[in-house]
Amino acid sequence: MHAWLCDNPVGVDALTWTELPTPQPAAGQVLVAIQAASLNFPDLLIVQNKYQIKPPLPFVPGAEYAGVVQAVGEGVTHLSVGDSVACLSGTGGFGTHTLAPAELCLPLPPGFSAVDGAAFIMTYATSHHALMDRAQLQAGETVLVLGAAGGVGTAAIQIAKAAGARVIAAASSDEKCALCTRLGADASINYSRQNLRDELKTLTGGKGPDVVYDPVGGDYTEQAFRAIAWRGRYLVVGFAAGPIPALPLNLPLLKGASIVGVFWGDFAKREPASNAAMMRELAGWYAQGKIKPVIDRTMPMTELKAAYAHMGSRGVMGKLVLVN
Ligand SMILES: NC(=O)c1ccc[n+]([C@@H]2O[C@H](COP(=O)([O-])OP(=O)(O)OC[C@H]3O[C@@H](n4cnc5c(N)ncnc54)[C@H](OP(=O)(O)O)[C@@H]3O)[C@@H](O)[C@H]2O)c1
């Protein structure tokens, strides 16, 4: 087998495509032949030592992948050799094979491709948990999605529309805004050339969005918070722009608004039954065609460094998927 090895987390350049012995699964594990692995923003942070989870060195990055079970460890009962699975195990995906904890592998239903399977769990679970659980989004409410053409952003548009909300998508180019409109957004704001706060006032008749979904941070956070509606819920999802913003606390006071943290990974660990119910609902929505991963492009696994560069330069629209 081959995999991208990180033995010094100083950035993408230090990764090496390395031949390794193909391992055998221990109890509770399966060996997965990886067909597709998607790039999520945390995959970039983790090889720069900037992510909250710091795996022991060396490690193979790639949180999320899909493939075929090739060997099954002792005690594994719900998976067999030949099963197609999707898995989000945090690491291991950027290679040809990996050992995965069987409990984290979801069997892929017929019709669910490996590319979609590899691009599904992280973004849809995060956005569903954020909008439906943390923000308690109601039909008819207005949601602002920042970074709306990115991975979690495109999932957030689809989920908010499936929930009957009105969606305002905000992104940094007209091309990205056009994609968001095609995905069902009711309006869009190009925040590279339009004033976010002024446009939000116009688009909501001065009321402001009920829910703000923010995976970007930086300067947009305060502008968006200043526009939020009375009793609004501001979802803190991530900081793709880099700096972690600070907010004057008089702003939530004046709007009777809430700042709501979102950490899907810990939700899944701490509340596994609720997470499993959510994943079942998302699989149902996929089967009904209400949600579908937006695939920016697929690239060969060996071109991981170019894929990272594309993400780091804000080029990805939807998800980038590496394939073997
Ligand atoms: N809280 C959770 O549970 C959770 C789970 C998954 C992901 N996340 C976080 O969510 C964020 C987005 O993840 P993602 O996988 O959706 O990433 P992504 O596909 O790269 O999307 C991020 C978006 O952020 C915007 N952006 C602004 N400044 C940027 C910069 N300097 N570099 C890169 N992008 C920039 C870009 O949109 P524009 O160009 O339109 O501005 C981009 O489309 C990350 O911070 C990630 O860590 C959080």
Output the CA 303–ligand 1 centroid distance in Å: 21
Of all residues in the chain, the percent with pLDDT exceeding 70 is 100
Beta carbons within 10 angstroms of residue 290's beta carbon: 15
Q: What is the mean pLDDT of residues 248-276?
A: 97
Q: Is 29 in the pocket of ligand 1 (CB under 6 A)?
A: no
pLDDT at 182: 98
Q: What is the mean pLDDT of residues 263-279?
A: 96
Mutate to test the pocket of ligand 1, among 38, 40, 41 (most ligand atoms within 8 A of CB): 41
Helix 196-203 and helix 220-227, axial crossing angle in degrees, nearest 10: 30
Select from 35, 30, 1 the least CA-distant residue to 117: 35
Averaged pLDDT of the chain:
97
Tokens 């695939």 belong to: 295
Cα–Cα dist 257/255, whole Å = 5
Q: What is the pTM of this model?
A: 0.96
Output the CA 296–ligand 1 centroid distance in Å: 14
Of all residues in the chain, the percent with pLDDT exceeding 90 is 98
pLDDT band at 132; cut points 50, 70, 90? very high
Q: Is 215 in the pocket of ligand 1 (CB under 6 A)?
A: yes
Q: What is the mean pLDDT of residues 252-259?
A: 98
Please tell me whether residue 307 adopts helix, strand or coil conformation. Answer: helix
Mutate to test the pocket of ligand 1, among 237, 294, 308, 321 (most ligand atoms within 8 A of CB): 237
pLDDT at 52: 87
Q: Is 221 in the pocket of ligand 1 (CB under 6 A)?
A: no
Q: What is the mean pLDDT of residues 120-131?
A: 98
Q: Is 189 in the pocket of ligand 1 (CB under 6 A)?
A: no
Q: Is 110 in the pocket of ligand 1 (CB under 6 A)?
A: no
Output the CA 311–ligand 1 centroid distance in Å: 9
143-188 pLDDT tens trace: 999 999 999 999 999 999 999 999 999 999 999 999 999 999 999 9
pLDDT band at 93; cut points 50, 70, 90? very high
Tokens 């149902």 belong to: 284
Q: What is the mean pLDDT of residues 299-304?
A: 98
What is the Cα 177 distance to its own chain's centre? 19
pLDDT at 137: 98
Cα–Cα dist 75/77, whole Å = 6
Q: Are strands 97-101 and 29-38 parallel, antiparallel or unpaired?
A: antiparallel
36-82 pLDDT tens trace: 999 999 999 999 999 989 999 999 999 999 999 999 999 999 999 99
Closest Cα to atom 28 of ligand 1: 241
Per DSSP, helices labelled H in the chain are 41-47, 114-118, 121-128, 151-162, 174-182, 196-203, 220-227, 250-255, 264-270, 272-287, 304-312
Output the CA 270–ligand 1 centroid distance in Å: 24
What atom in ligand 1 is closest to the CA of residue 153?
16
Q: What is the mean pLDDT of residues 77-95?
A: 97
